[in-house]
Structure 1
Amino acid sequence: MEGIVQNTEFGCGPACVAMLCGISLEEAFDAFEQRDWDVHGATENELSAAFSSFGFILGQASDIPDERGALFNRRENLLLWGPILNRHKAVNWKERSQRAEFRFDTPKVRSFHFNKESVDIAIETFDHWAVWDGSARALRDPYGYQCMFVPVYAHLILQP
């Protein structure tokens, strides 16, 4: 699979369609209604319609398990959704170093749980689409790996 970098601020959806369908970014954009991609991104329903127009089916969403390596053993190509954290925002970690469990309520991360203690913080996040390349067992992030991406659920991409 060829990695494709989005060329607009909110063009991650079309970039993922291009990667998963093996088409150009321009062809992928043509499958969506006209909009300012620097202001508005694609919804799940719009992505489903775009995949369908190229002969693919966007499968049902499933949660990605919290365990390390949950994606690594997947051999299928997946469309991933999750928040992308804004790297320009400073985060106050309250001087704690324990492993945190994320609780997402987009567009903000609302709380972290440290050893059964809860600490409320706010981090600016954006909905983001990325691709799991099952044959290479690699994340293909159209944003270009410039921010932290936390995949929360995955869609299997099927061909009829």
Structure 2
Amino acid sequence: MKTVYQRTESDCGVAALAMLADVSYEQALEFLRGSFRHTRIISSGKILAGVTHFGRTPLGDRCIRIGERQLCDLDHNALLRGVLIEGQRKFGHWAIWDCFDQTIRDPYAYMLPFETLGLLEVSW
């Protein structure tokens, strides 16, 4: 999987969909714009609809709390719900767990700490 970077401050969901579905940023954006009235804030439901549209299978219908699970124990790539931390501020953010390379693919190009709050695995 290659990292797809977001192009604005608020389009991490577009980039996350592109990575999970193995499509271009433009294809992910076109799907989201064509399927949903508002694309400024991308919910997990919108990302899951896109993942399904592009032929992948979500292994659930929503993100679940990560709890005691370790990302390295996952058998599939996963959508990660979390926050970017900048000083005292936290921003909602989407990233991807790449189970093959055992790494988090963060679409935000500026290295900020990322706290994972939930996940949803996606099967190829």
The alignment's TM-score, normalised by the length of structure 1, stands at 0.66
Structure 2 residue 64 is matched with structure 1 residue 62 = yes
Larger Rg: 1
**2:95 aligned partner:** 130
Q: Equivalences for 1:68-83 in 2 at 5 Å?
A: 70-83=70-83
Q: In structure 2, how many angstroms separate the alpha carbons of the residues matched to 1:24 and 1:140?
A: 15
Q: In structure 2, how many angstroms separate the alpha carbons of the residues matched to 1:146 and 1:14?
A: 19
Retained in 1: the 8 A contact 2:59–2:121?
yes
> 1:72 is paired with a residue of what secondary structure?
helix
Retained in 2: the 8 A contact 1:82–1:152?
yes
Deviation at 1:44, TM superposition (A): 1.6
Larger deviation, residues 146-155 vs 52-61: 52-61
**1:115 aligned partner:** none
Q: How many residues align?
A: 120
> 2:33 is paired with a residue of what secondary structure?
coil
Q: In structure 2, how many angstroms separate the alpha carbons of the residues matched to 1:146 and 1:66?
A: 25
Deviation at 1:33, TM superposition (A): 2.3
Retained in 2: the 8 A contact 1:14–1:28?
yes
Computed over aligned residues only, the root mean square deviation of the Cα atoms, in angstroms, reads 2.1
Structure 2 residue 115 is matched with structure 1 residue 150 = yes
The alignment's TM-score, normalised by the length of structure 2, stands at 0.84
**Consecutive aligned runs of 4 or more in structure 1 exceeding 3 Å deviation:** 34-37
> 1:150 is paired with a residue of what secondary structure?
strand
Deviation at 1:11, TM superposition (A): 1.0
Retained in 1: the 8 A contact 2:76–2:123?
no
Aligned AA for 1:3? T
> 2:42 is paired with a residue of what secondary structure?
coil
Q: Equivalences for 1:79-158 in 2 at 5 Å?
A: 79-85=79-85, 87=86, 89=87, 123-158=88-123
Deviation at 1:53, TM superposition (A): 1.4
Retained in 2: the 8 A contact 1:75–1:137?
no
Unpaired runs of 5+ in structure 2? none
Q: In structure 1, how many angstroms separate the alpha carbons of the residues matched to 2:27 and 2:95?
A: 18
Aligned AA for 2:98? D
